[in-house]
A and B are shown apart, each in its own frame.
Chain A
Amino acid sequence: MSDRLTSLREAIQQVFPQVDGVLGIRRGPGGIISPYLFHSEHPEELEALAIWPKEPLPDVLRKIQKAHPEAKLAIVCRGCEERGVVEMMKHSQLNWDNLTLIGLQCTKEEAEFCRCAKPYTVHAKIVVGEPIEGVPDPVTEKVAAMSREEKQEFWKEQFLHCIKCYGCRTICPQCFCNICTLEDEKFVETGRLPMPNPSMYHLIRAMHMTAKCVACRECEETCPADIPMAVHFRLIARDVQEMFSYETGAILEQKPPQLLVLEEGEYERTGLPH
């Protein structure tokens, strides 16, 4: 762990001359972890650099780029954050040309914590740490193996705990719409807890995460009720792979299905009549 931290510091030092700032996380006073923009004028600040727990850096990067479109920035990103950055670029939320990626490979423990299938970066030129294999996701497998009635009971029980804090929506690196359907009273009822069953909030969010969820598990981590909502997203990600041959954040040139016009005969793979 400390090894990776040292080599990450060195990597950031190397990148400093080419960029205006490097976005990473730092351990602030009191041991609190927060995103921080490191600057070459203050290299001593790198002492406070941290790598774990992770923070939703791509979202912070998007906000900085929005305010300073010309700034050349580097970002310390793990596999999931890199996928987040790539997806944002595809949806025109980031300027890819002004970006330098510093890839940070996850350790086995971190990957197991996130139940991550791809705990490594693929596009980053500068890489810190050794890439490792993905780990299986027992929770998703468990839900996938359930019968319909069991699934219904499982989700009903889980969503009963939801306090509708919108934390999962706010922290998600892929939730960047200016107008959010989840705030629309036509679709998500206000002033009612527990949520009515079926939960409109969670189903709409799962639907909107189609081909967008980068499996970073920030939503589950931030959830005060420990709802395993990423299970929905991961199950759908498999279908998207099967229907549209699209893997989130994997190939830079591939258009996401949302922006795609299906070719003749192609939509048949989705199982619709024709």
Chain B
Amino acid sequence: MYEPKIIGFLCNWCSYRGADTAGMARMKYPPNVKIIRVPCSGRISPELVLRTFREGADGVMVLGCHIGDCHYSTGNHRTAKRMPVLKRLLEYSGIDSDRLAINWVSAAEGEKFATVIKEFTEQISAMPPFAETMKMEETK
């Protein structure tokens, strides 16, 4: 079995703190997810997700605050609007939309963070590597 490369975009105010909570509680979760901290999940434009796939990631996670809890009041509404559309677009282009996951994790939900990461890693592990499915000749 191969080790999937997963990039997780975590919002600074909820999900990143949630990851901290999971760490402080010493919860176990797979190490495949490389975390990138962003000010808000609304920062993650579809271009960034596409580029991440283009660079050879097997899966991308976008984690943000629950709707209504956003530090910037409506930042995660943007995520809630654009990510489902991006998922459909991936599907229409022949890319499995399950490779992109969106979820809401608050600062207190360390346990949920560990579960979300674990489930997503298992899901991606079951799929062939992204570069292989796309027959990408070379990645930078």
Instruction: Point out the residue from B67, B81, B133 that lies within 8 Å of A260, measured CB to CB.
Output: B81
Interface residues of B: mostly helix, strand, loop or mixed?
Answer: helix
Q: Please tell me if the beta carbons of A267 and B67 are within 8 angstroms of each other in the complex.
A: yes
Complex contacts, A240 vs chain B, CB 8 Å: 85
- The residue in chain A whose Cβ has the minimal distance to the Cβ of B84 is A270
Beyond known contacts A143-B92, A151-B92: 4 more, CB 8 A cutoff: A152-B133, A154-B94, A204-B50, A243-B84
* CB nearest neighbor in A for B103: A273
B9 to chain A, nearest CB (A): 15
Taking a contact as CB atoms under 8 Å apart, the answer to whether B84 and A274 are in contact is no
Inter-chain contact B81/A155, CB cutoff 8 Å:
no
Residues of B within 8 A of A258 (CB): 81
Min CB distance A104 to B, Å, is 32
Stretch from A82-90, A195-203, A216-224 at the B interface: A195-203
Instruction: Confirm or deny: A272 has a beta carbon within 8 angstroms of a beta carbon on chain B.
Output: yes
Q: Across the interface, which residues of B come within 8 angstroms of A44, CB to CB?
A: none
**At the interface, yes or no: B13 with Cβ under 8 Å from chain A?**
no
Among all A-B residue pairs, the 8 with the closest Cβ atoms: A152-B94, A151-B94, A270-B84, A267-B80, A207-B46, A187-B47, A239-B88, A261-B74
Are A187 and B51 also in contact (CB < 8 A) when A155-B94, A257-B81, A262-B81 are? yes
Q: A200-B50, A203-B50 are in contact. Are A232 and B103 (CB under 8 A)?
A: no
Does A68 touch B at the CB level, under 8 Å?
no
Assess whether B54 is interfacial by the CB under 8 Å rule: yes
Which size bracket describes the interface of A in this complex?
Answer: 35 or more
Q: Are A236 and B88 in contact (CB under 8 A)?
A: yes
Name the residue of chain A whose CB is nearest to the CB of B67: A267
Please determine whether A235 and B77 come into contact, CB atoms closer than 8 angstroms.
no
Q: Is A105 an interface residue (CB 8 A)?
A: no
Min Cβ gap A232→B in Å is 6
Complex Cα distance A149/B66, Å?
35
A260 to B74 Cα, complex, angstroms: 10
Report the nearest B residue to A258, measured CB to CB.
Answer: B81
Q: How far is the CB of A164 from chain B (nearest CB, A)?
A: 15
Specify which of A181, A239, A272 lies most central, judged by the most chain B CB atoms within 10 Å of its CB: A272
Q: If the complex has contacts A204-B50, A210-B85, are A151 and B93 also in contact, measured as CB distance less than 8 A?
A: yes
Q: What is the distance, in angstroms, from A266's C-beta to the closest C-beta of chain B?
A: 9
Cross-chain contact of B81 among A150, A198, A270 (Cβ < 8 A)? A270
Bound Cα distance from A29 to B46, whole angstroms: 45
Question: Mask for A127-164, Cβ within 8 A of B = 1, else 0?
Answer: 00000000000000001100011111111100000000
Interface bits B76-100 vs A (CB < 8 Å: 1, else 0): 0100111111101101111110000
Measured between beta carbons, the chain B residues less than 8 angstroms from A235 are 88, 92
Q: Measured between alpha carbons, how far is A235 from B92 in the docked complex, in Å?
A: 8
Are the C-beta atoms of A148 and B84 separated by less than 8 Å? Answer: no
Return the chain B residue nearest A152 by Cβ.
B94
Judge if B120 is at the interface, Cβ distance under 8 Å.
no
Partner of A274 from B67, B77, B134 at Cβ < 8 Å: B67
Q: What is the CB-to-nearest-CB distance from A209 to chain B, in angstroms, rounded to a whole number?
A: 10
Contact A262 B80 (CB under 8 A): yes
In contact, A272 and B85 (Cβ under 8 angstroms):
no
Give the chain A neighbours of B51 by CB distance below 8 A: 186-187, 200
How far is B67's CA from A187's CA once the two chains are assembled, in angstroms? 29
Instruction: Please tell me which one of the listed residues A154, A198, A243, A260 contacts residue B134 in the complex, with CB atoms under 8 A apart.
Output: A198
